[in-house]
Amino acid sequence: MKTKVFYLATKVTVAVILVAILVIEAAASGTPKIKVVPYAPERALIALENENEVISDLSIEDAAGNVVYYREGKISDAFYSKKFDFANLSNGEYKVTVTNNNGKNEVYFNVKGNKITVSPSSKTTAPFVDIKGDVLKLSLLNSSLNDVNLVVSNENGIVYKKSLGNDFSINAGFNLANLENGTYAIDINDGVKNYSYNFKK
């Protein structure tokens, strides 16, 4: 998946991942965050946030630990997502496992009839911030399919605004090299919820 890069003439220093309801996240220090997003009968999107861009392995297993559907190794992208059709899976509990040198994370989901549900501990993930040097990375799982808008402001008002579109999965990068130092706020709105942050550059 390609990441669009935008060059800003004003300040932005935040990267956010928005995930709507029915998303489950598992996270540990250094290991990728996992999200399972049901989006249609028998289908789900699985996404990873690989902050340190270390090599990770992903598998989908049954409750006994048998790989029943999928295994992929050597994932090193900062943001990875793939859509899955689980129509051929029998009813029961399954888990998505991601491992790397820093540890392992697991997310459980259930298949019953043509419906996929995540573990009862599922939650909406908090926005994720990733800044490396002068680069801001933004990734959204936009399950509402509404237009997503980004606004950056300071004490003088709005200094930058952009529509990020209404795709289910949105990835964008922002080059901050030409931005001045100071305190700013960023607002991201998906038509359902607004996420606001204060930041400095």
pLDDT in tens, 1-33: 444 444 454 333 332 322 222 333 333 345 567
pTM over 0.75: no
| Domain 22-118 = CATH 2.60.40.3080 | yes
pLDDT in tens, 142-159: 666 788 888 877 788 887
Q: Which of 25-29, 38-42, 113-117, 136-140 has the lowest mean pLDDT?
A: 25-29
Pairing of strands 79-85, 43-49: antiparallel
Q: What CATH number does domain 4-18+125-200 carry, 3.30.1380, 3.30.420, 2.60.40, 1.10.10?
A: 2.60.40
What residue ranges do the domains of the chain occupy?
A: 4-18+125-200, 22-118
Judge whether residue 126 has pLDDT over 70: no
- The neighbouring-strand residues paired with 72 are 58
Average pLDDT on 102-116 reads 81
Residue type, position 133, single letter: G
Q: Following DSSP, what letter does each residue of 122-189 receive, concatenated?
A: --PPPP---EETTEEEEEEE-TT---EEEEEEETTEEEEEEEEE--SEEEEEEE-TTPPSSEEEEEEE
Quote the CA–CA distance of 46 and 24 in Å, as a whole number: 10
Q: Is 145 left (phi over 0), alpha (psi -120 to 50) or beta?
A: left
Pairing of strands 4-7, 169-175: parallel
Q: What pLDDT is attached to residue 128?
A: 60
